[in-house]
Amino acid sequence: MTQTHSRPGPAGPEAAITVGETYEQGTGTRALRKALRYADAGWPVFPCHWTTRAGCSCGDTECHSPGKHPLTRRGLHDASTDPAVITAWWTRCPAANVAIATGAPGPDVLDFDVKNDAPGAASLARLRDAGLLVGAHSIITTWSGGWHLYYVGSEQGNGSIRGHGVDFRSRGGYVLAPPSVINGKPYALTEWRSRLDPAVTGVDFATIRRALDPPRTFTSRARPGERSDHGALVRHVAGQAEGNRNGALFWAACRAVETGADEQVFTDLLDAALSVGLTDRAAAATIASARCRIGASA
């Protein structure tokens, strides 16, 4: 992405952070100043724990998300743009990491992970070559060497593309932002363009998912005398809006059990549920519940 400094725009990463800027945690009031600049852009923020050599400051030496635990009681639900609230938070804990609540009015963020050999770099290259990453207004290099691509915020749900090192954060999610630091390694702004640039757009996570993990085609056998289109069940779940997603998944999973679907069908139902914003844990629990209910009544 080409850096564009000629057009002024609303404050955001480009106003809060200088390209390539990092800082040593616990020094001065820089985190507070950056948090206030994000808030000035209309992006709600809140503080998260920082880390030490001994591990996450949450006290769990086996923590899998060091530096990402909210310091506020309700986490992202406490995110604020109120300067007085933000100042009070970082006055009490000046070393806190800065988290941004994603989804409008905050940004949507595509997260490409490379930790533990995750294939985020390959996924990013594949999507870039397909022309599906245009429209980002900021690129952040994460502490682990991955990338956050910031887009205009929307009301989409969160999601993950298993096996591809890609997560998506929108409504109900959050990301750490510069100048946050984990294990001594910073989040840093690497590229940006003005959000008034007409090339800056949103991103459709469903399109990203289909590009990396195309829907599988399969056939399955119904019970004698019974006709079943398991593909239609998957499409039914994938077409749901918020408010009916879990119910639709439960119904589809019940029909799949009743008609003798194989394991691939349940995998596809899980993927469809993730594509419309259900979490992996919730979707898996719903499918398990349907299998248990139908199995018990058979």
Dump pLDDT digits (tens) for 82-98.
999 999 999 999 989 99
Q: How confident is the model at residue 58 (pLDDT cuts 50, 70, 90)?
A: low
Helices (H) and strands (E) in the chain, counts: 9, 13
Q: Which pLDDT belongs to residue 6?
A: 29
* pLDDT tens, position by position, 237-273: 888 877 678 888 988 888 888 788 888 889 989 988 8
Look at residues 20, 5, 3 and name the one whose alpha carbon lies nearest to residue 178. 20
- CA–CA separation, 68 and 176 (whole Å): 7
* Same domain assignment for residues 204 and 153: yes
* Same domain assignment for residues 57 and 158: yes
Q: Which pLDDT belongs to residue 114?
A: 94
Q: How far is CA 90 from CA 37, 69, 101, 188, 265, in A?
A: 13, 15, 17, 20, 49
- CA–CA separation, 171 and 51 (whole Å): 26
* Same domain assignment for residues 197 and 237: no
Does 34 fall in a domain? yes
Q: Which pLDDT belongs to residue 297?
A: 41
- The H or E element containing residue 189 is strand 188-192
* Same domain assignment for residues 77 and 159: yes
* pLDDT tens, position by position, 173-211: 999 999 999 988 999 999 877 767 778 899 999 999 989
Q: How confident is the model at residue 293 (pLDDT cuts 50, 70, 90)?
A: confident
Does 216 fall in a domain? no
Residues of the chain above pLDDT 90, percent: 42
28: domain range?
A: 13-211
Q: Which pLDDT belongs to residue 39?
A: 96
* Same domain assignment for residues 201 and 234: no
* Higher-confidence position of 281 and 129: 129
* Same domain assignment for residues 137 and 259: no
* Same domain assignment for residues 189 and 247: no
The dihedrals phi and psi of 166, each to the nearest 5 degrees, come to: -125, 130
* Same domain assignment for residues 32 and 144: yes
Q: Which pLDDT belongs to residue 53?
A: 46
- CA–CA separation, 95 and 28 (whole Å): 9
* Same domain assignment for residues 242 and 178: no
Q: Which pLDDT belongs to residue 219?
A: 44
Look at the pTM and tell me if it is higher than 0.75: no
Total structural domains in the chain? 2
Look at residues 82, 114, 109, 124 and name the one whose alpha carbon lies nearest to residue 212. 124
